[in-house]
Structure 1
Amino acid sequence: MTGLTPTQAHAVRQTLAAERLEGWRPRPDQVADLVALATGGVEHADYLARRCAEAGAVPAARRRRLALPRPYLVTGTSVLRNRFGFRDQSQLREIEFGATAARLLQAHLRPAPQARAVDAEHILALHGLVFGDVFGWAGQTRIVDMTKNGDAFAPVQSIPRYLREVEIAVAATDWQRVDRGKLAYALAAVYVTFNHAHPFREGNGRTGTLLLHQLTESTGYRLDLAGVTAAEWVGASRDSAPFRRTGAPSPRPLIPLLTGALVPR
């Protein structure tokens, strides 16, 4: 990635890492567009228009947030309701990857908040930022229970409690003075609690890794997830799940991965 500042290069690298953990395999031209977005060579509106054209979509205006519970799926399909009106999963995935990559990149390029400012409201805002171009319910906690590959996440009514536990874990850590081992443990504790809460209908992984990056900015390390494979990340996340849906997840499975991903500044 020639022509990028260290900050821009890190932002592009971590954006791609987060999306690849979710299954994106970007083409060289898509990576080049992200680089251009990082350097200011292309405006966000033009970037999004290119992604929409590829997926066969027209950018839609942001709609009002959902005020009442309603189904997440497009009627008669298993496709999530989206701002583009897609009823085809492959089309939705294509635009989702491209659109959220741009927002992740922008978040990485902005100054991170102080760790003490990270709370449940901040987490909801992160999700709204990253997924707001795609879903009308971005930034809102889910209203349905969820399972994945047979594993159940926290019940809807328990989401606020787990988000409060994330806040407690953040507040209990002296982020400016942690060494690598303590930092890896703290990040793992935050992530597994957030992941079990699974507060959003879609987009928990990318929101969670962005949260870890922001917390790490208060330390003497940087988080580099480019060397972590999707299989490693998903496996460790699954192994961290509690035995009971309302139990406490274990940070231990994620600690080795995060330790290896922490790089001194």
Structure 2
Amino acid sequence: MFDPFKNFDQAGYLQNRYGEKDPEIVRQLEHTLFRAGLDDALAHVAKRRTLYYNDFLTVHRILFSEFYPWAGDDRAVTAPDIAVKKGDTLFCHPLDSRRAVEEGLRIGQDKAALQQHSGEVMGWFAYGHPFLDGNGRTMLIIHSELCHRAGFCIEWQRTRKADYLTALSAEISSPGRGHLDRYLQNFIGASRDRCQWGGAIDGIQGLDGSIVQDTVDGEYSDARVVQKYQQFEMNRNHSISGRR
């Protein structure tokens, strides 16, 4: 059970507004609210001339504030001392989440770079993992807007979730080597009018729930955790300020 707040018995999953504990009900409520807020989230990014980290926070707040009181707050606020992972995939320190997402935005707002490195951009967003839940859906909206501005789209409805997650995990562990770029190249299509996005995004297979849930991997006050994550960073061998 993913319980970074350590109050599941009293407040339910991630302190949700309903105190809900049943994972299936949580999944259904999350996705219902995501669908309800999708058009507003898409409208927000469409009107922004340049996308910044705060737009990530705003999109998350639009999508999930009716369920999570902390929606729009990143891990630097909600869980600054806790290491989070998904399966064998580690995410960056909460205090580095902003820098990781901003690196993705830096590459993604260069149209030529995004056309070649759409997977790398998504990898930076995923590595940043700003939120305790709802990262994938938030990333998808921002990434879709960036691709639209660059003149193409990713036909996510043709992807297979398990294959995508395998490529994404490889991208996070070894960024800049084209793992996710190569996978997504198979699904690049012509850009679509924004009015068509809502139905297309809502219809993506597996969008309403993750195969593997996040877990708490320990606290950064634990020397073992610090050493493990430092080693992971060394193995990534990729700086946030630019490609190596």
Q: Which residue of 1 aligns with 2:51?
A: 118
Deviating more after overlay: 227-236 vs 158-167: 158-167
Q: 1:157 to 1:214 in 2, by over 3 A?
A: same
Aligned equivalent of 1:254, options 180, 202, 210 = 180
**Equivalent position amino acid for 1:149 in 2:** G
Q: Give the TM-score taking structure 1 as reference length.
A: 0.61
Structure 2 residue matching 1:100: 3-state secondary structure: helix
| Structure 2 counterparts to residues 10-159 of structure 1, below 5 A | 71=5, 73-75=7-9, 79-108=13-42, 112-113=46-47, 117-142=50-75, 143=79, 144-159=82-97
Q: Decide which moves more: 201-210 or 95-104.
A: 95-104
State whether residues 113 and 214 of structure 1, in contact with CA within 8 Å, keep that contact through their aligned partners in structure 2.
no
Return the alpha-carbon distance in structure 2 between the equivalents of residues 251 and 141 of structure 1. Answer: 28
The letter of the residue matching 1:158 is: D
- Pairwise CA RMSD of aligned residues? 2.5
What is the CA-CA distance between 1:93 and the residue it aligns to?
Answer: 1.1
Identity between Structure 1 and Structure 2 (%) = 22
Q: Would you say the 8 A contact 1:112–1:217 is kept in 2?
A: no
Extract unaligned runs of 5+ from structure 1.
1-69, 244-248
Residue 99 of structure 1 deviates from its aligned partner by: 1.3
Q: TM-score, normalised by structure 2?
A: 0.66
Q: Which has the higher contact order (CA 8 A, sep 6+)?
A: 2
Is 1:264–2:185 an aligned residue pair? no
Q: Which amino acid aligns with 2:85?
A: T
Partner letter of residue 22 of structure 2? D
The partner residue of 1:223 within 141, 148, 154 is: 154
Partner of 2:129: 198
| Cα distance per residue 1:65-103 (max 9 Å; x no partner) | xxxxx8265236872221122122221111111111222
Q: Which has the higher strand share?
A: 2
CA contact (8 A) 1:170 1:190 kept: yes
In the alignment, the residues of structure 1 paired with residue 45 and residue 173 of structure 2 have an alpha-carbon distance, to the nearest angstrom, of: 34
User: Contact conserved, 1:184 with 1:258, CA < 8 A, in 2?
Assistant: no
In the other structure, the counterpart of 1:24 is none
Q: Shift of residue 118 of structure 1? A: 0.8
Q: Decide which structure has the larger Cα Rg and report it.
A: 1
Gaps of 5+ in 2: 192-244
